[in-house]
């Protein structure tokens, strides 16, 4: 039948068809509730998921801009459509909110990006989303079903004291990001009317808990991802979370609670002493391994330290803590003690059980002692134990399951910590641990990972990432030598230790260090243009060299400056310092 475009009945029919099949060519036309509703993925997307069309919200944001000081992406200006909607799990009657930022159709580059959170948050508010939109990607975040975009998993983890909400546990563990991505990719295809045959590149970016969330996907859903840029992942969960209490137990065991200024002085002296070991005196310890091998912290004993009184509490040691101590601190004026140095050495050595067997790894030397938390008691004039917030929360929530933070660590010993680490391996093995070492499905599907970790990370030890990389290497390339396996891995999984960097960010104590701000661009070039990184592109983000470009050596190679020029060298003795033989744990720890 020949349609007569002037016939009103046909016009009405055409209007209906228009509503379901049109391609909007401008951001303004596309960013409407009606258009989005017409592009929502159908019920065939994933078994057990139903999207609620009536929940759709949209708004257009024009010319948003991001400055040059962002950690995870460069400066940019962009416009986007901000879409949110809800879905539920069939049979559960719950509600999960997702948010997608979609670029102007003219700027869309066939890319999708999922983003993650930090701490117990499954998203980072709207902070991570620009990292997708500026590269022509749709960027997504989820609330995990925890109640709202600002509600964290810990608030939803217990139905009552003693009763875990397993849906929350699994959503936080890996399901939330998976569903976000599954829905997001189909929605992206629909929204931009991509042909079935067109490739949609899918990426993940996140750091810390967001890094763990990234690995939770790669380890399980190998063919969902073309590439992931993952920083300082909070994986090997029961070990990592319990590790936050290790420094507390060191002070409790040694019965010495150092003033924060004393630990800060030890770090400053370590940085000065080890700076030049990498061949470049720039205030950055780029070789914490050489520092470990050649510097004895005992040499700091007797050096004077001084920190002014503060009304807001804490030294810098408490900067990343969840519960900032609000107590005022007095002038701290003294000399570094033998006891203070012993605390530092024991923290760096890592947890050993009462039989002296190594149970876990620890922070690199020259990282600040953020977990050595003490508080000033103005009544006694003494420094005393302050329980680390993140460590205490893990025990309260996931070990004790009663939601009440630990206020003391009375009776807790090195063996208690060991038991918490091991029992958690079993209890959270399929949800939070996230250290499954066989990435064959991901590799076979052609996936690429850039994994980075601040070498001076004071919250998640850099050695934790080295251990995982090593687990993947030894599990996937058992018949290759170390160097051959490392070379094979470099083709698709690269690990970079960022000199001097702290936890998912720069380090005020080593301002001249680089930070890999353009990871997503580097990853896109690798995935889409086959430009395999040799070193990782980075930029100095603070201090007198701000804006300068730097390159970071890929593990297991280590930076060494010779006549002012950086080389990436292979140094077995240094590599060995990164490995721990965990004889205190009777099963393999990947």
Ligand X SMILES: *[C@@H]1O[C@H](CO)[C@@H](O)[C@H](O)[C@H]1NC(C)=O
Please identify every residue annotated as catalytic: 208, 457, 503
404 binds ligand X per the rule CB under 6 A: yes
- Choices 376-384, 397-405, 415-423, 428-436 (CB under 6 A): range interacting with ligand X: 397-405
- The span from the CA of 136 to the CA of 477, in Å, is 36
The sign one gets for the Cα dihedral 415, 121, 116, 316 is negative
Q: Find the shortest distance in angstroms from Cβ 62 to ligand X.
A: 4
Q: For residue 284, give the nearest of 272, 300, 293 by alpha carbon.
A: 272
Question: Residue 246 and residue 267: Cα distance in Å, rounded?
Answer: 18
From the list ligand X, Ca ion, none, which binds 284 (C-beta under 5 to 8 Å, kind-based)? Ca ion
The CB density around residue 337, as the number of other CB atoms within 10 Å, is: 16
Choose the contact partner of 537 out of ligand X, Ca ion, none; CB within 5 to 8 A by kind: ligand X
Residue numbers 76-115 binding ligand X by CB under 6 A: 82, 84
**Does the protein bind Ca ion through residue 527 (CB under 5 A)?**
no
| 529 Cα distance to chain centroid | 26
Task: Give the DSSP letter string of 257-312.
Answer: ---HHHHHHHHHHHHHHHGGGGT--SS--S-HHHHHHH--GGGGTT-EEEE--BSS
Q: Which stretch binds Ca ion (CB under 5 A): 37-45, 62-70, 103-111, 268-276?
A: 268-276
User: Per rule CB under 5 A, is residue 275 in the interface with Ca ion?
Assistant: yes
In 3D space, the residue among 299, 302, 328 whose CA is nearest the CA of residue 313 turns out to be 328
Of the pair 324, 546, the CB lying nearest Ca ion is at 546
Of the pair 372, 538, the CB lying nearest Ca ion is at: 538
Burial 282-294 (b: 16+ CB within 10 A, else e): bbbbbbbbbbbbe
* 22 scored as a contact of ligand X (CB under 6 A): no
Residues in contact with ligand X, shown as a per-residue x/- string from 536 to 575 under the rule CB under 6 A: -x-x---------x--------------------------
Reported as half-sphere exposure (CB side, CA atoms, 13 A), residue 565 has a value of 2
Task: Give residues 39-58 in contact with ligand X (rule: CB under 6 A).
Answer: 57
Q: Which does 522 bind (CB under 5 to 8 A by kind): Ca ion, ligand X, none?
A: ligand X
Binds ligand X (CB under 6 A): choice among 105, 330, 403, 441 = 403
Question: What separation in angstroms does the CA of 75 have from each of 123, 129, 132, 516, 544?
Answer: 21, 13, 13, 14, 19
Stretch that binds ligand X, among 219-227, 351-359, 379-387, 398-406 (CB under 6 A): 398-406
Determine which residue in the list 19, 160, 324, 487 makes contact with ligand X, applying CB under 6 A: 160
**Listed ranges 242-250, 303-311, 375-383, 437-445: which one lies at the site for ligand X (CB under 6 A):** 303-311
59 binds, among Ca ion, ligand X, none (CB under 5 to 8 A by kind): ligand X
Is 114:181 a contact under the CB 8 Å cutoff?
yes
- CB closer to Ca ion, 278 vs 371: 278
Nearer to ligand X, 3 or 160 (CB): 160
Applying CB under 6 A, does 68 fall inside the site for ligand X? no
264 binds ligand X, rule: CB under 6 A:
yes
Q: Please list the residues that pair with 142 across neighbouring strands.
A: 98
Q: Which residues contact 207 (CB under 8 A, 6 or more apart)?
A: 72, 118, 230, 231, 232, 233, 504
Q: Which residues contact 155 (CB under 8 A, 6 or more apart)?
A: 120, 146, 147
- Which uninterrupted H or E stretch holds 205? strand 201-207
| All residues at 6 or more sequence positions from 176 whose CB lies less than 8 Å from its CB, including other chains | 96, 122, 142, 144, 145
32 near ligand X, judged by CB under 6 A: no
Min separation Cβ 256 and ligand X, Å: 18
- Is 59 among the residues that bind ligand X (CB under 6 A)? yes
CB 69 within 8 A of CB 49: no
Q: Does 518 bind ligand X (CB under 6 A)?
A: yes
Distance CA 288, CA 271 (A): 9
C-alpha distances (whole Å) from 406 to each of 21, 83, 208, 313, 448 are 57, 40, 23, 21, 41
State which residue, 282 or 393, has the beta carbon closest to Ca ion.
282
Which SS3 state, helix, strand or coil, does residue 486 take?
helix
Whether 567 contacts 413, CB under 8 Å: no
Stretch that binds Ca ion, among 198-206, 267-275, 304-312, 338-346 (CB under 5 A): 267-275
Distance between CA atoms of residues 216 and 421, nearest Å:
19
291 versus 425: smaller Cβ distance to Ca ion: 291
Among 212, 265, 320, 448, indicate the residue that binds ligand X (CB under 6 A): 265
Q: Please, which residue, 51 or 575, has the CB nearer to ligand X?
A: 51
In the complex with ligand X, which residue's Cβ is closer, 75 or 445? Answer: 75
Contact positions vs Ca ion (CB under 5 A): 275, 278, 280, 282, 284
Contact positions vs ligand X (CB under 6 A): 57, 59, 61-63, 82, 84, 126, 158, 160-161, 261, 264-265, 268, 305-307, 333, 400, 402-404, 509, 518, 521-522, 525, 537, 539, 549
């Amino acid at each position: 039948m020949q349609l007569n475009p002037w016939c009103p009945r046909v016009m009405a029919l055409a209007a209906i068809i228009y509503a379901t099949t049109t391609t909007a060519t401008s951001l303004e036309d596309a960013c409407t509730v009606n258009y989005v509703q017409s592009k929502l993925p159908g019920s065939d997307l994933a078994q057990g998921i139903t999207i609620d069309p009536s929940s759709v919200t949209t708004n257009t944001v024009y010319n948003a801009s991001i400055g040059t000081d962002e950690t995870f992406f460069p400066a940019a200006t962009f416009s986007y459509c901000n879409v949110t909607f809800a879905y539920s799990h069939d049979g559960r009657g719950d509600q999960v909110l997702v948010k997608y930022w979609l670029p102007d159709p003219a700027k869309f580059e066939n890319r999708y990006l999922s983003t993650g959170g930090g701490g117990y948050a499954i998203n980072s508010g709207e902070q991570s989303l620009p990292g997708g939109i500026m590269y022509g990607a749709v960027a997504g975040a989820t609330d995990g079903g925890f109640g709202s975009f600002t509600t964290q998993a810990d608030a939803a983890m217990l139905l009552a004291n003693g009763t875990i909400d397993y849906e929350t546990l699994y959503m936080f563990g890996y399901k939330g990001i998976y569903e976000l991505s599954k829905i997001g990719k189909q929605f992206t295809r629909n929204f931009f009317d991509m042909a079935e045959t067109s490739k949609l590149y899918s990426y993940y970016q996140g750091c810390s808990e967001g890094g763990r969330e990234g690995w939770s996907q790669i380890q399980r859903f190998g063919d969902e991802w073309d590439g992931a840029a993952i920083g300082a992942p909070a994986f090997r969960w029961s070990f990592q979370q319990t590790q936050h209490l290790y420094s507390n137990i060191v002070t409790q065991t040694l019965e010495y609670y150092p003033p924060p200024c004393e630990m800060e002085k030890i770090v400053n002296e370590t940085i000065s002493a080890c700076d030049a070991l990498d061949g470049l005196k720039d205030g950055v310890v780029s070789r914490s391994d050489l520092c470990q091998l050649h510097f004895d912290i005992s040499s700091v004993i007797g050096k004077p330290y001084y920190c002014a009184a503060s009304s807001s509490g804490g030294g810098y040691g408490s900067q990343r803590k969840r519960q900032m101590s609000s107590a005022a601190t007095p002038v701290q004026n003294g000399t570094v003690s033998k006891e203070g140095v012993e605390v530092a050495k024991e923290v760096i050595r890592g947890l050993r059980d009462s039989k002296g067997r190594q149970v876990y790894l620890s922070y690199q030397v020259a990282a600040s002692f953020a977990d050595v938390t003490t508080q000033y008691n103005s009544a006694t004039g003494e420094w005393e134990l302050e329980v680390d917030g993140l460590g205490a929360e893990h025990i309260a929530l996931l070990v004790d399951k009663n939601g009440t933070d630990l206020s003391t660590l009375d009776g807790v010993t090195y063996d208690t910590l060991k038991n918490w680490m091991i029992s958690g391996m079993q209890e959270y093995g399929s949800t939070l641990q996230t250290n499954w070492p066989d990435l064959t499905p991901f590799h076979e599907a052609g996936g690429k990972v850039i994994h980075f970790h601040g070498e001076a990370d004071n919250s998640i030890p850099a050695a934790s990432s080295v251990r995982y990389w090593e687990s993947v290497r030894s599990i996937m390339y058992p018949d290759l030598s170390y160097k051959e396996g490392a070379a094979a891995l470099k083709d698709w999984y690269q690990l970079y230790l960022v000199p001097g960097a702290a936890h998912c960010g720069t380090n005020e104590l080593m301002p001249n260090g680089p930070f890999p701000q353009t990871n997503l661009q580097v990853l896109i070039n690798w995935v889409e243009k086959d430009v395999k990184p040799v070193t990782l592109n980075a930029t100095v983000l603070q201090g007198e060299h701000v804006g300068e470009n730097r390159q970071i050596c890929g593990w297991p190679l280590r930076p060494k400056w010779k006549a002012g020029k950086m080389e990436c060298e292979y140094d077995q003795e240094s590599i060995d310092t990164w490995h721990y033989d965990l004889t205190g744990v009777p099963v393999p720890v990947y």
